[in-house]
Structure 1
């Protein structure tokens, strides 16, 4: 499940693969309430009825590791969200990881060019952390500190109680960040929402060196800002599920920033050389894979100087990220067709995924998720037609 969710977010894999696995991001079966009662009693030392005045047995959300219920917490007097890990998850975790390793090993043996063993390594390293809700609570506390004393729309729900398998936190009522009807009814400008999402996650990567690696729409809520809010806008963006974070050391952050500065600068021999230089420093990428790496970073076909000149003039290549026009469906199809049909391109994608340092791969995942959010918000810079939504939703 976790491996499929990760692959579903990778822009550079074919759409036939990612669309098939995308359902794993929000289509999970809930655990029976009776089993959750037993887990709660075991972990908290008291039954649910003793700690809550009321507790809704129907979950408001179900993910691969846990599900969330709403209740009224007696001790704090607050309406809270209660995240409960699926009871038998730990029992089968090691077995699942071994099965994944074995499966990927066989794939590598029979099809050496299709190398996915790095996915198993990621799962082995990160799954135990995501299964510890105390670790998640600590991540949330650190992120709150990172954004303290500044004007930001980011809001982190307060944790009430945390144990390894039970997390009780402040309940936040709002809409999905990509719910256009909710945004319109709340008089929230979707362009400003997109700008704030970009600013929040850019600060995490470029300034804090500590970033949330799974900001899919199910982990982001939006609500109107209250009178005590620090938000510069009339809304707050609520970030949920803090189980998966990664850090970036100063050297990597500086080189990654310089890579983006070179992508923003107009193409010239020195700028193109810098792009390749910093791609090598950031992603361990040589000239042979640089065009694929650039496409993964930018989500676009190519900039000037990225590919060898060919007779294919289907798309006019931009000089920099600044002068790119909104991406068309034709360009998206060209990227996918190149991956699926051109000799060697798909193998280059696999080679790229194998070579890139894991931290950088997580940054690519973050890029893809935020880029898809920008598209879903139908911003004026995303290239999405406003007539794709009902007229009454448009503000």
Structure 2
């Protein structure tokens, strides 16, 4: 609570001083600098408090780090929490299992590694061999003291959020408390995680031979202990591992986009806690039906979200409108679907579009910046890039918009929590594409998303046409609707297919250029490293 109160006082003081500032360029710069400093001070205080209290507090910090709408000072400061979790001694784990199951680790497993191979805010994972089957397994066990303090911690967090909201009515953090109240009890029961994993695996069953995704087998699960197949592999963004196993990083990035797009747009059921640590890659295992020479193993299934059909399809239509060239009609269409999926009005629309695409929307930043309109992309397929000075000017222009911070928190209050989680997933895809140092350009993953969106819209159109057939029978209007839907899907399939082919050809040329450059610098070894993105 001390960190929260200090942050509240800090913000109050900074905003009080802003009332004395004018709208001059000098005072605008002063305002930006003071806010950035306040963000950073408050975030650092909160970081230390979350690390000290650990448990669910670390989990909260991880969520804050993933919400790209928040100021960068907050998200970047909280990001280390994704890797800074402390292990529970194996003796305490044994005590917990005796209380829960009446047995110790030694009774169930042999060759137990007492040092966990992974530690998260809620649990840790140990490597062992199952005594009954002889299989190499990963044992996921909850931190024992989590259950004891969870209720008190949740009440404390809810109280802190309510306090901030009372003092700053425009600063909307209730979404964070709501998510914690709903998801945390589910995450603390590994039986729920096992159920999520089985359902997700079932959703991909019909794609065997067409996807590289792999869901580790779960041997058994109890409330605070789960035993699953042990996966030998590396983080999906480990470029050295990819090079050593001759795995194409471009294919890895594209497959990740296909996996998550399938979840969101086709299945309507997606992994809601995606980060680099939950994704492992390995060489194609014996018996694997992956179409590539690798498997992507998806871990930690504690958080999943169902997406209502109307949100899923309308968001797909929204994405397709973003792919199209900007015009009066496409802009109107974008704002129409923004209203449908997130109840977003025209004033907040640019912030939503920037959050979805990772690009700054300047359409409403002010007429004084219209001279830079030619620098910004007119669609997600526009490969035009801005230099650092242009990006800095655009960001500054966006930050000058009246009430920007209030608008951001209004957006967080307005947008459905499921849409926030989809945005979080989109951010992961962009982040992974960057960390994999791909040569195909970021628009390549946008194309993959668009292809799944087109399929989702086509499937929805067919469902609506069948429903109309049952209601009214054969009509000319029904034929017209079918032809229109068919032509739209055919157009997208052809257009996206050509664009994908072109980008893949260019990616190969770029990679070949890197290989030749490395060869000139240091022979074949250097050429392989350059082509693998290691330099």
Structure holding more helix per residue: 2
The answer on whether the counterparts of 1:265 and 1:271 sit within 8 Å (CA) in structure 2 is yes
Q: Deviations over 1:149-200 (max 9, x none)?
A: 3121000000011000001000001010011111111111111111000010
Q: Deviations over 1:95-138 (max 9, x none)?
A: 11111111111111222222212211111111001111000000
The answer on whether the counterparts of 2:268 and 2:308 sit within 8 Å (CA) in structure 1 is yes
| Deviation (angstroms), 1:373 | 1.0
Query: 2:230 aligned to 171, 176, 189, which one?
Result: 171
Q: 1:131 aligns to what?
A: 188
* Structure whose alpha-carbon radius of gyration is higher: 2
The answer on whether the counterparts of 1:181 and 1:393 sit within 8 Å (CA) in structure 2 is no
Return 316-325 or 350-359, whichever deviates more: 316-325
The answer on whether the counterparts of 2:376 and 2:384 sit within 8 Å (CA) in structure 1 is no
Query: 1:369 aligned to 428, 432, 437, which one?
Result: 428
Q: TM-score, normalised by structure 2?
A: 0.70
Distance 1:244 1:237, change over 3 A: same
- Alpha-carbon distance in 1 for matches of 2:391, 2:112: 46
Q: Are 1:204 and 2:263 counterparts?
A: yes
Q: 1:153 aligns to what?
A: 212
- Alpha-carbon distance in 1 for matches of 2:394, 2:230: 42
Q: Give SS of 1:221's match.
A: strand
Q: Give SS of 2:220's match.
A: strand
The answer on whether the counterparts of 2:214 and 2:296 sit within 8 Å (CA) in structure 1 is yes
Q: After superposition, where does 1:79-98 map in structure 2 within 5 Å?
A: 79-98=136-155
- Alpha-carbon distance in 1 for matches of 2:364, 2:188: 42
Q: Are 1:394 and 2:510 counterparts?
A: no
Q: After superposition, where does 1:218-237 map in structure 2 within 5 Å?
A: 218-237=277-296
Q: Give SS of 1:258's match.
A: helix
Q: Are 1:348 and 2:407 counterparts?
A: yes
Q: 1:106 aligns to what?
A: 163
- Alpha-carbon distance in 1 for matches of 2:74, 2:400: 15
Structure 2 residue runs without a partner (length 5+): 1-57, 444-509, 519-525
The answer on whether the counterparts of 2:215 and 2:299 sit within 8 Å (CA) in structure 1 is yes
The answer on whether the counterparts of 1:73 and 1:79 sit within 8 Å (CA) in structure 2 is yes
Q: After superposition, where does 1:273-312 map in structure 2 within 5 Å?
A: 273-302=332-361, 305=363, 309-311=367-369
Q: TM-score, normalised by structure 1?
A: 0.94
Query: 1:72 aligned to 129, 142, 152, which one?
Result: 129
Q: After superposition, where does 1:184-263 map in structure 2 within 5 Å?
A: 184-263=243-322
- Alpha-carbon distance in 1 for matches of 2:81, 2:397: 26
Distance 1:340 1:64, change over 3 A: farther
| Deviation (angstroms), 1:346 | 1.8
**Count of residues in Structure 1 that have an aligned counterpart in Structure 2:** 392
- Alpha-carbon distance in 1 for matches of 2:59, 2:284: 33
The answer on whether the counterparts of 1:53 and 1:74 sit within 8 Å (CA) in structure 2 is yes
- Alpha-carbon distance in 2 for matches of 1:192, 1:310: 42
